[in-house]
Amino acid sequence: MPDSAVMADSPATADSPATTDRISVAGQRQLIWWRFRRHRLAMAGAIVIGLFYVLALGADFFAYAPPNHTDGGRTYISPQRIHLLDGAALSPHVYPLRPGRDPETFEPTNVEDRSRKIPVRLFAHGYEYKLLGVLPTDIHLIGTTGTPAAGALALLGTDEEGRDVYSRLVLATRTSLAIGLAGVTVSVLLGALLGGISGYYGGFIDSIIQRTIEIVRSVPTIPLWMGLAAALPRDWSVTRTYLAITVIISLIGWTELARVVRGRFLQVRGEDFVLAAELVGCRPRRVIFSHMMPLFTSHIIAATTLALPLMIVAETSLSFLGLGLRPPAVSWGVMLQQAQNIQSVALSPWMLLPVVPVVAAILAFNFVGDGLRDAADPYS
């Protein structure tokens, strides 16, 4: 017996016509959204991801120092404090800093030059950049008046070459998230295509594709990436390496998606309404694209969301190993690579800060992916 208590079993009841009607005419997308909204962790994850992408889009606006601005006089500065009050009045300011060491422990400390105040303000002028790649401007979210911000601010400290960690982190977010997106796009295209072929035609073609997937998946990933990345010519430009890395990463990523798509195809093929469509006289193309595909787009989206963090981790690990992006490109992996020695861990722990966005982004993507997967099937 069909035992599922269908929402609004008697659509014509007078008790709550508004709600029942709303549910009755709600499309699949709407139902998914309603269910997704109830998933609190996923909603939190979605907000975090949203913020990340806002940060990535306006990276130059949120940063205040050019990412590769070095300053020999400002190495290993620990995160700086902003003084909010000047006497009793609200007037945020910083003092110029010099790196120094604690004479007893040799720990790096900031030596503040209390004689000079540098006012800090929002929407200040700084280095020039193009907002969203088109609008030339020099307005930044925070900045200083008087001296250039690059030489005065160090909100999250600086690294061994005196580069500002905060600004680099913001720009690294852009690179890392973008590489994730690009990698996933390639994976989805490959995965949906090969998985679809595999699931729809079945038989021999299916066997070939499935065996290929098994072979690809059986190769240990890190050595494979290393091999492929090592094969990239060292003299390639940053952007070309970037593209090549994306492709390398997605060459592994598509297998999971291909399996998801194939599985859904096989499952949906057995549904009565597919047969019904065929009996009515629909051509295969219509059956596939109008009847079968829409049923699992949400699953593909969920799988994609779950694949994104893998891509990000992959890029981070590759770059961390020194095989991925190379300076002057900035990514989370590149930044972490610089924190590879014991000195930074022990003496300048702020160099490890890129770990925070990596963990945050991955958790957020996973929560959203879970939420989407649960919401994708309102009948499960």
Partner 1 sequence: MGAEPLLSVRDLKTYFFADEGTTRAVDGVSFDVRPGRTLGIVGETGCGKSVTARSILRIVDRPGRIVGGQILLRRDDGVVDLAALPAKSATLREVRGGEIGLVFQEPMTSFSPVHTVGDQLMEAVRLHAAKKTAKKTDRKTARKTDKRDNAAVRARAVELLDMVGVPRPEERLAAYPWQLSGGLLQRAMIAMALAGDPRLLIADEPTTALDVITQAQILDLIRDLQEHNDLGIILITHDLGVVAQMADDVAVMYLGRVAEQGRAETIFSAPRHPYTQALLESIPSVHHEARMKLPTITGGIPHPFDRPAGCAFHTRCRHTVPGVCNEKEPDRRVLAGDHESRCHLEQPPVFTLTPTGYGTGNGERLADNGSARVTVVEPTAPALLEVAEPAPEPAAEPAPEPEPLLRVRHLVKHYALGERRFGRPRGTLRAVDDVGFDLREGETLALVGESGSGKTTASRCILRAVTPESGDIFFRARSGDVVNLATVRRKDLRALRPEIQMVFQDPYSSLNPRMTVLDIIGEPLLVNGVRSRQQRVDRVEELLGLVGLRPEYMRRFPHAFSGGQRQRIGIARALASGPRVVVADEPVSALDVSVQAQTLNLLMDLQERLGLTYLFVSHDLSVVRHIAERICVMYAGQLVESGPAASVLAAPRHPYTATLLAAVPKPDPRARARFDIPRAKGPEQTPRPPGCQFERRCPHATTRCAAEAPALRLISPGREVRCHHAEDLVLPVP
- Residue ranges binding partner 1 (CB under 8 A): 1-16, 20, 23-28, 31, 38, 207, 271-273, 275-283, 286, 291, 294-295, 378-379
Q: How far is the CB of 144 from partner 1 (least distance, A)?
A: 50
**DSSP summary character for residue 377:** -
Name the residue nearer to partner 1 (CB basis): 17 or 146.
Answer: 17
In the complex, the smallest distance separating the C-beta of residue 200 from partner 1, rounded to whole angstroms, is 17
- What is the spatial distance between Cα 370 and Cα 228, in angstroms, rounded to a whole number? 32
Considering beta carbons, is residue 253 or 371 the nearer one to partner 1? 371
> What is the full DSSP assignment across 223-259?
HHHHHHHHTS-TTS-HHHHHHHHHHHHHHHHHHHHHH
For the beta carbon of residue 17, count every other beta carbon within 10 angstroms.
13
Task: Tell me the C-alpha distance between 200 and 265, whole Å.
Answer: 6
Using DSSP, state whether 292 is helix, strand or coil.
Answer: helix
User: Cβ 198 to partner 1, closest distance in Å?
Assistant: 15
Q: Minimum CB separation from partner 1 for residue 52, in Å?
A: 29
Q: Please say which residue, 35 or 117, places its beta carbon nearer to partner 1.
A: 35
Distance CA 179, CA 188 (A): 14
Which residue's CB is nearer to partner 1, number 278 or number 374? 278
CA dist 315 and 177 (Å) reads 10
Element (H, E) at 122: strand 118-131
CB of 28 to partner 1, least distance (A): 5
Nearest to partner 1 of 231, 280 (CB atom): 280
Instruction: Give yes or no for a contact between 222 and 159, defined as CB atoms under 8 angstroms apart.
Output: no
71 or 278, CB closer to partner 1?
278
Residue 37 in contact with residue 47, Cβ under 8 Å? Answer: no
DSSP string covering 5-73:
--SSSSTT-SSSHHHHHHHHT--HHHHHHHHHHH-HHHHHHHHHHHHHHHHHHTHHHH--S-TT---GG
Q: What are phi and psi of 13, to 5 degrees?
A: -65, 150
Q: Provide the minimum distance between the beta carbon of 207 and partner 1 in the complex, in angstroms, as a whole number.
A: 7
CB of 96 to partner 1, least distance (A): 56
User: How do strand 89-94 and strand 97-101 relate by DSSP bridges?
Assistant: unpaired
- Tell me the one-letter amino acid at 19: T
Report in angstroms how near the CB of residue 295 gets to partner 1 at its nearest.
6
Identity of the residue, 73 or 294, whose beta carbon is nearer to partner 1 in the bound complex? 294
When the beta carbons of 39 and 174 are compared against partner 1, the nearer one is 39
* CB of 248 vs partner 1, minimal distance in Å: 33
Do 273 and 138 contact (CB within 8 A), yes or no? Answer: no
Instruction: Compute the half-sphere exposure of residue 102: CA atoms within 13 Å on the CB side of its CA.
Output: 8
Q: Which residues pair with 97 in a beta bridge?
A: 112
In the complex with partner 1, the residue whose CB is nearer, 27 or 223, is: 27
